[in-house]
Amino acid sequence: MSCQTTTRCRACGKAGLKNVLNLGRQPLANGLKRKAAEREARYPLTVAVCPSCRLVQLRETVDRHVLFDRYFWVTGTSSSARAFAETFCDRAAKTAGLKQHDLVLEVASNDGTFLKPFAAKGWRVHGVDPAQNVVAQALDAGVPTWARYWDAAVAQEFLAEVGRPKLIFARNVVAHAQDLDGFIDGFRVALGPDGVGALEYHSAVSILEGLQYDSIYHEHLCYFGVRSISVVLERFGLHPFHADPSPISGGATVVVFSAKKRPESKALKALRAKEKKTGIEEVSSWVDFGRRCYAHRDASRALLAPFKRETVVGFGTSARSSTYLNFCGFGRKQVRAAIDNNPMKQGLFSPGGAIPIVSKKEGFALKPGLLFLFAWNFKKEILDECRKHGYKGRVLIPFPERPTLTAAGVSR
Ligand SMILES: [Zn+2]
């Protein structure tokens, strides 16, 4: 079975999930096609909220081997991730109170980008990651890494063969964990009484406030707030005591925890209070979120409709754009081509709607009458590039909150 539907909450295990948004049958957001006519698997994509612990989550789970055995995101290729790695290392080392010879373990360590600063400062480092292709890159860079999915059994093996880590961290992956209990249990097993764990996740606050439903796709099963992540951790005897903000994905949180109860930091208390005020812990906020998403889709269609006779060219074909485009039903009929600076993607077609992916040169050669900014979170960089190419036409910016039309020459 390559897709299963859950009836119980992924965090607290209780039944009674409430559906708030049906994004339709969607292709895999990273599934670029080699041919426009290629048929791909589609899976339902439904967002629900748990009335008990308030975790926002997907109802569907697509088999992890379909999603993650080969992974195309390489951390080291992102300049913002590389820049954040140093800050992350300094903060985590301080919070965990790392001493000489301590061992640092990263779960889902990708190419080892976030372990390198720890290694450079003299700590022992080790990674675990399921994707063979990125593990090979980490090993080439001298970061010892196991190609495994993380769970309690792997944690036991790790203790026996490598040792007890003082710090274990996992960035932007807890939301991907299909066996969430096993994943967190691995932390419980591997952390000793003095050990510290840290989990980074894309905050549900930015999704609710920015109406960022484009970041919802099959890879991301959970959309945590500090309350819902605490529910999962506490079930395994792990107690959050601190939180730091992270700039990744347009608004993330790093929650820090330990097996031994420690006093909660001011930052964590402040975050709890702040999140409560945003409404992410209310079922009604998410019901309203669902309604606003349908309205956003309708507004997007209305905004694009007058450009039927124009050449519409998209910009940036991230996984994030896939959910949005397929939810709105935008394909190559509406959008002639999409520019992407990654040469590996050029010549391929977007998932679902099969929009041809082209280079910047090819895209501007089409003389677009409208530029559709799929990668809206890189708005400034992209608009600067457009101006360099002499594009002064209109630009459709779909997020955050509402789709808007602007001119490339105007900075907003
Ligand atoms: Zn729950």
Please give the distance, rounded to the nearest whole angstrom, from the Cα atom of residue 231 to the centre of ligand 1: 8
What is the DSSP code string of 75-92? Answer: GGG-HHHHHHHHHHHHHH
Exposed (0-12), middle (13-18) or buried (19+): which is 113, by Cβ within 10 Å? buried
HSE value, Cβ hemisphere, 13 Å, CA-based, for 247? 11
* Long-range residue pairs from 328-335, CB within 8 A, at least 24 positions apart, any chain: 328/297, 328/300, 328/301, 329/301, 329/353, 330/300, 330/304, 330/355, 331/355, 332/36, 332/356, 334/304, 335/372
Please give the distance, rounded to the nearest whole angstrom, from the Cα atom of residue 213 to the centre of ligand 1: 20
pTM: 0.89
The answer to whether residues 373 and 340 touch, using CB atoms and an 8 Å cutoff, is no
Residues 6+ apart with CB under 8 A from 376: 397, 398, 399, 400
Please give the distance, rounded to the nearest whole angstrom, from the Cα atom of residue 226 to the centre of ligand 1: 13
Rounded Cα distance between 206 and 202, Å, is 8
Please give the distance, rounded to the nearest whole angstrom, from the Cα atom of residue 54 to the centre of ligand 1: 6
Predicted pLDDT at 20: 98
CA dihedral 68, 72, 78, 80 (to 10 degrees): -30
Tell how far CA 179 is from the center of its chain: 17
Rounded Cα distance between 384 and 363, Å, is 16
Please give the distance, rounded to the nearest whole angstrom, from the Cα atom of residue 179 to the centre of ligand 1: 15
Predicted pLDDT at 1: 58
Predicted pLDDT at 10: 95
Please give the distance, rounded to the nearest whole angstrom, from the Cα atom of residue 343 to the centre of ligand 1: 42
Rounded Cα distance between 235 and 185, Å, is 9
3-state secondary structure 107-166: ECCCCCCCCHHHHHCCCEEEEECCCHHHHHHHHHCCCCEECCCCCHHHHHHHHHHCCCCC
Nearest to 187 by CA among 216, 218, 155, 144: 155
Predicted pLDDT at 198: 97
Q: Under CATH, domain 308-407 is a member of which superfamily?
A: NAD(P)-binding Rossmann-like Domain (3.40.50.720)
Q: Do domains 1-306 and 308-407 have the same CATH topology?
A: yes
Per-residue exposure over 229-246, b if at least 16 CB sit within 10 Å of its own CB, e if not: bbbbbebbebebbbbbeb
Tell how far CA 102 is from the center of its chain: 30
What is the chain's percent helix, strand, coil content, to nearest 5?
35, 25, 40
Tokens of 18: 């409430």
Please give the distance, rounded to the nearest whole angstrom, from the Cα atom of residue 23 to the centre of ligand 1: 21
Predicted pLDDT at 74: 64
Tokens of 233: 């951790």
Please give the distance, rounded to the nearest whole angstrom, from the Cα atom of residue 31 to the centre of ligand 1: 30
- Supply angle C-alpha 85, 91, 96, rounded to 5: 120
Please give the distance, rounded to the nearest whole angstrom, from the Cα atom of residue 10 to the centre of ligand 1: 6
103-107 and 167-171 beta bridge pairing: parallel
Domains of the chain, by residue range, sit at 1-306, 308-407
Q: Per-residue pLDDT tens, the chain, 412 aa: give them.
A: 589 999 999 999 999 999 999 999 999 998 899 999 999 999 999 999 999 999 999 999 998 877 766 566 666 666 777 888 999 999 999 999 999 999 999 999 999 999 999 999 999 999 999 988 889 999 999 999 999 999 999 999 999 999 999 999 999 899 999 999 999 999 999 998 999 999 999 999 989 998 999 999 999 999 999 999 999 999 999 999 999 988 776 678 999 999 999 999 999 999 999 999 999 999 999 999 999 999 999 999 999 999 999 999 999 998 889 999 999 999 999 999 999 988 889 999 999 999 999 999 999 999 999 999 998 888 888 888 888 888 989 999 999 889 999 887 554 4
Rounded Cα distance between 13 and 181, Å, is 10
The answer to whether residues 135 and 163 touch, using CB atoms and an 8 Å cutoff, is no
**Alpha-carbon torsion 280, 20, 73, 64, what sign?**
positive
Please give the distance, rounded to the nearest whole angstrom, from the Cα atom of residue 9 to the centre of ligand 1: 5
Please give the distance, rounded to the nearest whole angstrom, from the Cα atom of residue 53 to the centre of ligand 1: 4
How many helices (H) and strands (E) would you count in the chain? Answer: 13, 19
Please give the distance, rounded to the nearest whole angstrom, from the Cα atom of residue 125 to the centre of ligand 1: 34
CATH number of 1-306: 3.40.50.150
Please give the distance, rounded to the nearest whole angstrom, from the Cα atom of residue 16 to the centre of ligand 1: 9
Please give the distance, rounded to the nearest whole angstrom, from the Cα atom of residue 285 to the centre of ligand 1: 16
Predicted pLDDT at 72: 61
Predicted pLDDT at 412: 44
Rounded Cα distance between 203 and 283, Å, is 16
Please give the distance, rounded to the nearest whole angstrom, from the Cα atom of residue 270 to the centre of ligand 1: 23
